[in-house]
Every structure is written in C-alpha cells, then in structure tokens.
Amino acid sequence: MAAKILVSDPLAEEGLELLRQEAEVEVETDLTPPQLVETIGQYDAIVVRSATKVTAEVIEAGQRLKVIGRAGVGVDNIDVEKATEQGIMVVNAPTPTVVAVAEHTMALLLATARHIPRGDASLREGKWLKKQLVGTTVAGKVLGIVGLGRIGTAVAKRAQAFDMEIIAYDPYLTREQIEERGATPVSSLEELLKRSDFVTLHVTLTPETRGMIGAKELDVMKPTARLINCDRGAVVDEEALLKALEEGKLAAAGLDCFCQEPATDNPLCCSERVVATPHIAASTVEAQRDVGREIARQVLTALRGERPQHLVNPAVWGEHE
C-alpha cells in the first residue's frame, strides 16, 4: 500500500510531482489547527512550510506519522522534541533557499543605505526629495555577520564584491573556519555590534537566540548603523528596536521577518527608518521550485526506510534502522 502524505502549505508543483511518483498525496492548505489534529491520523507524512504549526497535539494525533517534512530551513514551527520522543523523523531542505535569502539580505542592506523605498514612494507622490535622501556608501564599511552558516557565508561572498570589510561572530566555528568562509572573526557579539556599520542576523531560533538583539545590544551599536534581519523575527526585541530607531540610536533597519506574522499592524512597518518586506527572502521562483523538489526527496527517502541527508533529529534514526 502506498504511503499517504499530507501537504498542508503551498508546495511547488515540481515537488508534488515527485511525491506522487511514490505516494498518495493530498493537498489541504486551509486546515485549521483543530482540523489538522482531526485528520493527521490517516497520514504517514506531512509536508509544511512555515504557516502550519506541527504541535505536540498534532504529533500525538498522528499515529501513523513517520516523517515531518519542512519545505525550508527553520523548524521552529515544529515540536522537534515531541517528534523525537515519538520516533518521528523531521527533515528539512536547508540548501535551496540560500542564494535567495543572501540576495534579499543584500537588497535590504542597499535599500537602507540609499533610501530606495522612500525615494520611490516620494516620486509616486509627486515629490522630488533629492536633497533630503542622502545615503551612505557601503564600500569600505564594516559588515558584521552574526551566524556564519550557509546563508551567512553566502552573504559574506556577496558583500566582498561590494568591497565591504566583513567580520563575523559564530561561537560554533573556530577562527580558522570563519576565516575560510571569508570573514574576520571577533571574540564576542558585543565587539561585532560596536564595530559594525551594518549588522545582519543568520542564526537558528533557539531559546538562547530568542531576543538576542535587545536594548542592551542596540545601545552599543553605532548611531549610524543599520540592522538587517532576514532570519527570524523573534531574535530581535521589536519594542527595543523601535525605541532605538525613534530615539536616533540606530540609523535604519531592514526587516523581512517579525515576531507575529502577518505583521500588517506592526508599528515597525510604519517607521520611515525601516525597510520592511513580508517574509519573502526565500520567495523566488527558483528557490521554491528547488525547495519543493528537495523536501520531496527527503520525505520519500525517509518513507523508504533510508536515512535522509537532512535529518534534523538524528537521534531517532536508530529506531528506523
């Protein structure tokens, strides 16, 4: 009997086609949390993006679940601990969106440096703000990268082309590894924040990184500095960030993610010092096509009883050998 897979968030057709080659696939992208709990028991696998929350309640109700697939990188919408406890594999697709997110990071960096959104909006209003919208050159400026994983490294590579000085803080890498990835290592987050003209965040959301950029951290940054976040909204204390911007302690921020989404009523989105986008850093045609294919491969590999390449909770593998 073919395995049954529930796809509860939009997935590229290329990914769906791969899944359908080996499994029975049902796409239900409008399920409420109670509906998901009610129906999950009939599936062997579920594929989600960031909208669906795979809670402990969902996992407990998924009596047939063998694998949870996250079409993307972050798994903070999945109770990985509960899945591990239940012997359920969690897989993700960390590589296909790297370039897209790195490009969007640079786009926000440049937009904050050169007032691009305000320039565009003012022209549409019939205003000519040439004298008011004086930007800053990025060449020669210090870019501080917090987290030098796949995306952070891709950002460093692109920033090199803009002749930026790149420093990085990543407590999980040695000095040699940071240097190999194109950055100069610093000893602490505080040192990075003090030295940087631009700071970009690329860390996994964990209890340790939640709120890692708060009032204390913002206070040590240069008043001319700009903060870029294409990571997870919760790594930044939004109230403290808004206060720092309003008081002129920070020049600008480029934000693609927020603590609560949709963020249509978030006061940060109304600030002239903020360039905001609706969590679209990974949303390119190419990235989503490749994410769909990659997560399909990971899920099918797991369902065949083979070890997936991107297994988030390797502790469960012994139960499936």
The whole model's pTM is what? Answer: 0.92
Q: Are residues 293 and 250 in the same domain?
A: no
Q: Are residues 268 and 194 in the same domain?
A: yes
- Please tell me the predicted confidence (pLDDT) of residue 221: 99
pLDDT tier at 131, thresholds 50, 70, 90? very high
Average confidence (pLDDT) over 284-293: 97
- Please tell me the predicted confidence (pLDDT) of residue 318: 75
Q: Are residues 160 and 102 in the same domain?
A: yes
Q: Are residues 114 and 232 in the same domain?
A: yes
Contacts of 62 (CB under 8 A, 6+ apart): 40, 41, 43, 46, 88
Q: Are residues 264 and 158 in the same domain?
A: yes
Q: Are residues 104 and 52 in the same domain?
A: no
Domain range for residue 122?
Answer: 98-276
Q: How far apart are CA 208 and CA 201, in angstroms?
A: 14
Q: What is the CATH number of the domain that holds 221?
A: 3.40.50.720
Q: Are residues 133 and 246 in the same domain?
A: yes
For residues 306 and 86, the answer to whether their CB atoms sit within 8 Å is: no
Q: Are residues 133 and 267 in the same domain?
A: yes
Q: What is the mean pLDDT of the chain?
A: 97
Dump pLDDT digits (tens) for 253-276: 999 999 999 999 999 999 999 999
Dump pLDDT digits (tens) for 62-109: 999 999 999 999 999 999 999 999 999 999 999 999 999 999 999 999
- Please tell me the predicted confidence (pLDDT) of residue 1: 78
Average confidence (pLDDT) over 3-27: 98
Q: Which pair of tokens denotes residue 219? A: 């206070």
Q: Are residues 268 and 302 in the same domain?
A: no
Q: 321 pLDDT exceeds 60?
A: no
Domains held by the chain: number? 2
Residues assigned a catalytic role: 232, 261, 279
Q: Looking at beta carbons, which pairs linking 50-58 to residues 24 or more positions away fall under 8 Å?
A: 50/9, 50/74, 50/77, 50/279, 51/8, 51/9, 51/77, 52/8, 52/9, 52/77, 53/77, 53/78, 54/78, 54/79, 54/83, 55/79, 55/82, 56/82, 58/33
Q: Are residues 7 and 65 in the same domain?
A: yes
- Please tell me the predicted confidence (pLDDT) of residue 34: 97
Q: 47 pLDDT exceeds 60?
A: yes
Q: Are residues 126 and 82 in the same domain?
A: no
Dump pLDDT digits (tens) for 176-217: 999 999 999 999 999 999 999 999 999 999 999 999 999 999
Q: Are residues 7 and 112 in the same domain?
A: no
- Please tell me the predicted confidence (pLDDT) of residue 176: 98
Average confidence (pLDDT) over 31-43: 97
